[in-house]
Amino acid sequence: MVKNITGRGTNQVVKIDASGILYRELNARLRELVANGTQKIELHNVYGQRYIGTDLDRPVEIDIFGTPGNDLGAFMDGPKITVHGNAQDGCGNTMNNGEIVIHGHAGDILGLSARGGKIFVREDVGYRAGIHMKEYENKKSVVVIGGTAQDFLGEYMAGGIMIVLGLNLNKGGHHKAKFIGTGMHNGVIYLRGNVEGYQLGKEVGVAELEKEDRQILKKLVGEFASHFDYNTEEILKHRFIKLFPLWLRPYGRLYTY
């Protein structure tokens, strides 16, 4: 492993060349640095190492150059992770607080069971994004996707806010995901772009935006735009729809006699 240190004081950046390093060794070194008070870390030549940032609980900034493996930022509680490229499955798994910013695509089960924190993805995501997202006490998980998503978007959502912008769709184009919001029983999904009724789970209702919805979108889309150099007003001038759960216990009858 090659480690270079640049800057002084709180601006000090620790740089690690992750080429050929197993994920356990890499994550052990990350925990050691964070425990010692390091505030800024760069990981270069990352090729699929798993669990980067898992269970870290301090406001450290981690920049990743390469493609991190599954469960990036799982269980984390405070760091900011920026991926300069794509990410694999399970980003933000059971995340409690912090921020993940991905300057590319992300894989399946993005934000699985996240109960706080924010995830921003510039491009598309895979299947089951936002599955079982939650809210916990004063925490509310947020996922903003710049492109579109595969099937089962927002499956079993139990809280939080999901925004799908469809910025890569042609004018008037449709999202392709099916079974959107299947089993959803709390939280909200905002979709920019068109979707047909048959693509939605039976547990989901559709509504036009109210004043509060527009305020939420202005704030969160503004954060997305600042990360990826978009124009917030240009994004927001297009029509959004709001998806919400029709029932708090959509499958309750299955377990009653």
Task: Give me the average pLDDT of each 10-residue run along the chain (257 residues).
Answer: 52 90 95 93 96 93 97 96 98 96 98 96 98 90 98 97 95 90 96 93 94 97 98 95 86 59
pLDDT score for 172: 77
What DSSP character marks residue 180? B
Predicted TM-score (pTM) of the model is 0.93
pLDDT score for 252: 62
Any bridge partners for residue 162, and if so which? 143, 189
**Structural domain tally of the chain?**
1
Is 98 within a domain?
no
Is 88 within a domain?
no
Q: What CATH number does the domain containing 117 carry?
A: 2.160.20.60
Is 116 within a domain?
yes
Domain that holds residue 166: 105-255
Is 174 within a domain?
yes
Is 42 within a domain?
no
> How far is CA 6 from its chain centroid?
30
Is 201 within a domain?
yes
CB-based contact 75:56 (threshold 8 Å): no
CB-based contact 86:68 (threshold 8 Å): no
Is 18 within a domain?
no
Measured between alpha carbons, how far is 105 from 81 in angstroms, rounded to an integer? Answer: 15
Q: How far apart are the first and last CA of the chain?
A: 61
Q: How many CA atoms lie within 13 A of 70 on its CB side?
A: 5
> How far is CA 152 from its chain centroid?
15
Is 49 within a domain?
no
* 3-class secondary-structure state, position 11: helix
